[in-house]
Amino acid sequence: MSAVASGEAEISRSTLHDGRVMLDQPVKGYRAGLDAVLLAAALELRPGAQACEFGCGAGAALLCAARLNPDARFTAFEKDQAMAALAAANIVLNGGEDRIEVETGDALALAGTARFDAVFFNPPFFDDESALRPPSAEKRGAWISDAPLADWIGAGLKALRPRGQIVLIHRADRLGDILAEFQGRAGDIGVLPVHPRAGEPAKRIIVRAVKASRAPLRILPGLIVHGGEGERFMSEAAAVLKGESRLVLSAPERRRP
């Protein structure tokens, strides 16, 4: 990791996917990491697909997803002007400007109707400021959403073409709320619990759903992230974090050939 200058904010450069993705992001405030890489790994796109990320931040999930799906095109929306500019710079840094673009503005308002084959997001995990100790000003936008989770899901479904997929990562305790929003609107739902360590409850869930599908819900075997003493990551998680493996949430008969 090295520090670089970018306007008034102090920026540091780090890498994801075992050095294959370069990422500049602010030293202070929210810094993308594990959740962004896991989200990107759960997105599987056909060649020529048009995908969209809501709230891309500096572009961590966006760039990882683009690397894993080299024949797809990506649009991202980011309402923080400084972060949108940083994401655009990171796209150039990684040579992705020919198929990845960032638009500045609120994704929930800009996404439109039936434009994309896939929508993915890692939304702020809280939509009620009373639910946690107030974060620093630099982290508020990443931790607390001004719109409820239902609005994120509703906008995502609206932006999808028929049979398009929506993929998100969130707190495990919000699973009931997420499934309620998909009721009658999306199916073929795959839920992947993410456990910090073996024997511990899942703290995250990754959910994938298909717009207008009536296929049944599937709860998948959980991903265990950290190993025991002396083993930072379990082998499956390590392969995903290195960008060498994916997280498959689609049903076997519906996977991309």
pLDDT at site 5: 44
How, if at all, do strands 100-104 and 223-224 pair?
Answer: unpaired
pTM of the entire predicted model: 0.88
* SS3 call for 194: strand
pLDDT at site 155: 96
Show pLDDT as tens, one digit a residue, over the chain (257 residues): 444 444 457 999 999 999 999 999 998 877 888 999 999 999 999 999 999 999 999 999 999 999 999 999 999 999 999 999 999 999 999 999 999 999 999 999 998 999 999 999 999 875 544 443 444 444 434 434 478 999 999 999 999 999 999 999 999 999 999 999 999 999 999 999 999 999 999 999 999 999 999 999 999 999 999 998 778 999 999 999 999 999 999 988 655 54
The answer to whether the beta carbons of residues 192 and 222 sit under 8 Å apart is yes
Handedness of CA 128, 132, 138, 139 (dihedral sign): negative
pLDDT at site 97: 97
**Which residue ranges make up each domain of the chain?**
2-250
Name, in order, each residue with C-beta under 8 angstroms of 103's C-beta and a sequence gap of 6 or more.
75, 76, 77, 78, 84, 110
Q: From 2.60.40.10, 3.40.50.150, 3.30.470.10, 1.10.4030.10, which CATH number describes the 2-250 domain?
A: 3.40.50.150
